[in-house]
Amino acid sequence: HNKFSLSGPTDIVQDFKDLAFRIDRVSNEEIINFDLNSIVPMPGDLGIVSCATGNHALRLLNSPPETLLKDLISTSQVYFGAIQDAFAFTDQIWNVITVGELLTAIDHMRAYSRCLDWDFLDLPLAKKYKRNIEKYGYPTWYEWRDDNWGCTQNTWRFNLVTDEIVENVHRLSFEFKTNWSAPVPVFYRLSEMYPQLDFKVSYLEEYLQFTGLFVSNVGSCERLYLHHNEPGMNEHLLEYWGIDL
């Protein structure tokens, strides 16, 4: 749960709203959301599925061709037996076959239209991962968002609390939810983009495992993070969330 409040010149606050607030139409109703992607845009190429089958295959693509398969894939891993079964590898072959030879065998099977729709290895997807890593530094949306947003999903349950002008100062406050953690990297980005605004964000994990505060004043940032049972946690919960433990 995140509580965001800011103040500043009306034209700058309006610019902030135009950037950060996305309006969706659902059943003829306009729904406002605080849009992380508008502030820190994610490259569209990263919007592909993130899954174990692609990651398994990526390990093969990233390994030197001369690497022995038995050294790369532990016999305890789920897809060890699946690869053996798919190629009818004997234990003797398994002990000497290399990654390069396996990839060649896969290409050979593809050339002869053999079915390669396995549920344990997805080479076409892994090749997309590899291209994305080379271009963006990340294979999929999941890793990119975790680093660049601080959470892996966009926000939801937006609630506009205050939007008013008092003594020529525009004050805006709203609440929203994110999964797992607060989008702290996005807060830093907003501080860089809008040094004319003063803003404060208080955030709280739903099971009270951690809480925090991000403050930006004329582009200068301070961040407080308190973990469960850490000194100052109870006082912070009472001051910012009205929770008395």
141, 47 in Cβ contact below 8 A? yes
pTM, two decimal places: 0.84
Q: How far apart are CA 237 and CA 228, in angstroms?
A: 11
CA angle at 39 for the pair 178 and 51, rounded to the nearest 5°: 55
Tokens of 70: 């038995």
Give Cβ neighbours of residue 54 (< 8 Å, ≥ 6 apart). Answer: 122, 125, 126, 128, 129, 139, 140
Q: HEC states along the chain? A: CEEEEEEECHHHHHHHHHHHEEEEEECCEEEEEECHHHHCCCCHHHCCCCCHHHHHHHHHHHCCCCCEHHHHCCCCCCHHHHHHHHHCCCHHHHCCCEHHHHHHHHHHHHHCCCCCCCCCCCHHHHHHHHHHHHHHCCCCHHHHHHHHCCCCCCCEEEEEEEEEEECCEEEEEEEEECCCCCCHHHHHHHHHHCCCCEEEEEEECCCCCEEEEEEEECCEEEEEEEECCCCCHHHHHHHHHCCCC
Per-residue confidence (pLDDT) for residue 218, from 0 to 100? 80
Residue for token pair 């992607």:
37
Per-residue confidence (pLDDT) for residue 102, from 0 to 100? 80
- What is the distance of C-alpha 53 from the center of its chain? 19
Q: How far apart are CA 235 and CA 242, in angstroms?
A: 10
Question: Tens of pLDDT along the chain (245 residues)?
Answer: 999 999 999 999 999 999 999 988 888 888 899 999 999 999 999 999 998 888 888 888 888 888 887 777 664 455 555 666 666 666 667 678 888 888 887 776 655 444 455 556 788 899 999 999 999 999 999 999 999 999 999 999 999 999 999 988 999 999 999 998 999 999 999 999 999 999 999 999 998 899 999 999 987 899 999 988 888 899 889 998 998 87
122, 54 in Cβ contact below 8 A? yes
Q: How far apart are CA 159 and CA 147, in angstroms?
A: 26
Per-residue confidence (pLDDT) for residue 193, from 0 to 100? 96
Other C-beta atoms closer than 10 Å to the C-beta of 104 total 12
Per-residue confidence (pLDDT) for residue 159, from 0 to 100? 95
